[in-house]
Amino acid sequence: MGSNSVTVPLQLPNPIRVMVVDDHPIVRQGVRSLLSNCPDMELVAECDSGASALDQAARVRPDVILLDIRMPGMTGVEAVRPLFRQCPNAKILMLSSFDDEAYVDQAIQAGVHGYILKSASDETLAGAVRAAFRGERVLSPPVMDHIVQQAADYSRERARREVGLTEDETRVLKLLAEGASNPRIAAELYISETTVKRKLQDVFEKLGVATRAQAAAEAVRRELV
């Protein structure tokens, strides 16, 4: 007996629903062109302001929102929390021309899932949309450098507070670790050599060391400089 076979059509996953919010038409056009070449993504709305985005978000239910950080009226940062209230499951990627640390800090504190520079390649932006949709955090390399540096600065500052070093003592210790002599430290900081010796003695006591070499080693080991 013969058997009848049934061909089951291939079920493609639903495309990622993307909304772009930017007051510059050329940016929206660029995103539109990019998404047209990505079969796993669908542009569901284009908005030229934060207010317009709030009007449309609940209706179009985007999975990922590409949000410009600087716009007239409501800024991108100001729009983040209202957009999350409208679409609690959406992932927001801040799209910006600026890697200024103040913008980055404000965006991250607002709760965005990523911060991508507009100078990023099409491949990078498409990858960021996919990663954000999966729930991953995404940062452009220059922004990641800022975050890493900020974390390192915070770690050093915390270590200095734990040791009890003052700002002046930290500057003296940094120059000592670089191999500077007392006369050079005095010249660099515009203080007398007597003051340098006194500050070094205070540093030695706080670090529990007796020599310059030990102080330099402790400064590096504890990441104080």
Rounded mean pLDDT, 202-220: 90
Looking at residue 141, its pLDDT comes to 65
Distance of CA 49 to the CA centre of its chain: 23
Looking at residue 223, its pLDDT comes to 80
Cα 185 from Cα 180, distance rounded (Å): 6
Ramachandran quadrant class, 9 (left: phi over 0; alpha: psi -120 to 50; beta: rest): beta
Looking at residue 1, its pLDDT comes to 46
CATH number for the domain whose boundaries are 154-221 = 1.10.10.10
Q: pLDDT tens across 94-122, in order? A: 988 876 777 888 888 888 998 988 888 89
Q: What mean pLDDT is reported for the chain?
A: 86
pLDDT band, residue 32 (cuts 50/70/90): very high
Pick the CATH number of 16-141 from 3.30.70.100, 3.40.50.2300, 3.80.10.10, 3.40.50.300: 3.40.50.2300
pLDDT over threshold 50, residue 67? yes
pLDDT over threshold 90, residue 16? yes
Sequence ranges of the domains in the chain: 16-141, 154-221
Cα 129 from Cα 31, distance rounded (Å): 11
Distance of CA 65 to the CA centre of its chain: 17
pLDDT band, residue 160 (cuts 50/70/90): confident
